[in-house]
């Protein structure tokens, strides 16, 4: 996996050497670093893209996600909201709304998280991540009936969903200690919401 990251970033660096004014190339490099579990290293790449094009909604959105994964969820709202203001009808805006929900969940702001996740489901009811966050938010806040209902919907889409699987999935995105502490709280909300361990 480390070799794959090196190959990918090397190819992007070569492309940037030929065209350092390509904002999308910086976003792709940031995404590559983020996907390979290095969200902190991705942040300067998104900033470089935004220096070139300060009206680039995807760069703002991806920066917001990288901030969440870097244990800086409170800082994620501004870039995510800016992405939505710049391109409210973007085909991938549903994921930006989800990341707002997820940032609230990381901060244990359950009412805000459920509101944003409900918006995601209204846009795309097959976006299973939103159901995960709803189960966790409802479970953590003691609202067991809505947690059960959200879990029923999640199980229709992801019948194989377990705490163990989701922990491995989430931990794969970041080794940041703050992110992992917050993620463990999300897992605890899932337990309280009735998700099976294995």
Q: What is the CATH number of the domain that holds 132?
A: 1.25.40
Segments forming the whole domain that contains residue 36? 1-91
Q: How far is CA 133 from CA 22, 40, 90, 150, in A?
A: 35, 23, 22, 9
Say if CB 142 and CB 122 are below 8 A apart. no
Confidence class for position 5, pLDDT limits 50, 70, 90? low
Tokens 């491995």 map to which residue?
A: 168
Same domain, 71 and 119: no
In a domain, 60, yes or no: yes
Is a pLDDT exceeding 90 seen at residue 69?
Answer: yes
In a domain, 98, yes or no: no
Q: How far is CA 14 from CA 8, 9, 17, 29, in A?
A: 10, 9, 5, 11
Same domain, 109 and 197: yes
In a domain, 99, yes or no: no
Same domain, 118 and 187: yes
Single residue among 56, 91, 126 that ends a domain in this structure: 91
Q: Does the predicted model carry a pTM greater than 0.85?
A: yes
Is a pLDDT exceeding 80 seen at residue 8?
Answer: no
pLDDT in tens, 103-139: 999 999 999 999 999 999 999 999 999 999 999 999 9
In a domain, 187, yes or no: yes
pLDDT in tens, 31-61: 999 999 999 999 999 999 999 999 999 999 9
Tokens 């099976």 map to which residue?
A: 196
User: Minimal CA–CA distance to 100: which of 118, 87, 126?
Assistant: 118
CATH of the domain at 18: 1.25.40.10
Same domain, 22 and 109: no
The number of distinct structural domains making up the chain is: 2
Please give the Cα distance from 94 to 77 (Å, whole number).
15
Taking the alpha carbons at both ends of the chain, their separation in whole angstroms is: 26
Same domain, 198 and 112: yes
pLDDT of 7? 72
Is a pLDDT exceeding 70 seen at residue 93?
Answer: yes
């Amino acid at each position: 996996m480390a070799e794959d990251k090196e190959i990918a970033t090397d190819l992007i660096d070569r492309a940037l050497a030929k065209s350092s004014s390509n904002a999308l190339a910086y976003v792709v490099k940031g995404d590559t670093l983020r996907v390979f579990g290095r969200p902190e290293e991705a942040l300067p790449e998104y900033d470089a893209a935004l220096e070139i094009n300060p009206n680039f909604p995807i760069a703002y959105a991806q920066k917001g996600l990288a901030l969440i994964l870097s244990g800086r969820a409170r800082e994620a709202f501004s870039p995510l909201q800016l992405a939505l203001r710049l391109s409210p009808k973007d085909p991938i805006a549903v994921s930006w709304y989800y990341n707002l929900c997820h940032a609230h969940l990381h901060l244990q702001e359950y009412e805000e998280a459920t509101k944003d996740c409900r918006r995601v489901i209204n846009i795309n009811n097959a976006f299973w991540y939103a159901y995960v966050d709803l189960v966790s938010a409802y479970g953590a806040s003691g609202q067991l009936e809505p947690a059960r209902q959200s879990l029923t919907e999640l199980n229709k889409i992801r019948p194989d969903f377990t705490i163990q699987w989701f922990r491995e999935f989430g931990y794969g995105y970041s080794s940041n200690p703050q992110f992992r502490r917050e993620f463990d709280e999300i897992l605890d909300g899932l337990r309280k919401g009735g998700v099976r361990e294995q």
